[in-house]
Amino acid sequence: MENEINQIVKQVKKGNKDAFGIIIDTYEKRIYQHCYRLLGSFHEAEEVTQEAFVKAYTKIHTFKNKQSFAPWIYRIATNTAVDWMRKKKPLYILDQPMAVGENITYLDHIENTSETPQETVEQKENQDEMQQYLLQLPSKYRVVLVLRYMDEFSLKEISETLDLPTGTIKTHLHRGREALRKLMHGQSKGGQ
């Protein structure tokens, strides 16, 4: 997979714009989920995902084929999400037409991947609960927890993505888990 992506990146660097569509198709859902976990908003995640791919396209010449592509694109998405959190940009109105005179809205492009309404409700409740805990964490802990446990990155990949030493990643993971545990324990006590 990595060799295929590197070949596609070479094509993009040579000016093949269509090849970048393959990269988007390969990473779009994962990047979107990653951004959602960081931001807690479907609308903001959509916006940040789009912005991250635009940045990736304009910076593709900085990608070195010796490195792994996934950490590179996740770094761009993570940095874009962190910048977004700092600036807290206004949301796009997703129910407005994408272009003047079109009847297609941004909402029309959001896929429904759930199988049944019951599964949708249960999954949403679990995601919302975990999302609320994650959003209470400082962003430096939230980012490493999401990359490690939700995006399933190795410590090395997280280190490459965030450009931080592995020791710092381990510290952030430990402190993030502890903070999350305290939040969840405090919530369950408060709820009883």
CATH 1.10.10.10 fits domain 115-192: yes
Closest CA to 160 of 59, 176, 168: 168
Digit-coded pLDDT (tens) for 156-186: 999 988 989 999 999 999 999 999 888 888 7
Fold of the domain built from segment(s) 1-111? Rna Polymerase Sigma Factor; Chain: A (1.10.1740)
pLDDT in tens, 113-157: 545 566 656 666 666 777 788 888 898 999 998 898 888 889 999
Give residue 133's Cα distance to chain centre: 17
10 Å CB burial of residue 152 (0-12, 13-18, 19+) is exposed
Question: Where do you find CATH 1.10.1740.10 in the chain?
Answer: 1-111
pTM beyond cutoff 0.85: no
Tell me the C-alpha distance between 41 and 108, whole Å.
17
Residue 180 CA neighbour count, 13 Å, CB half: 22
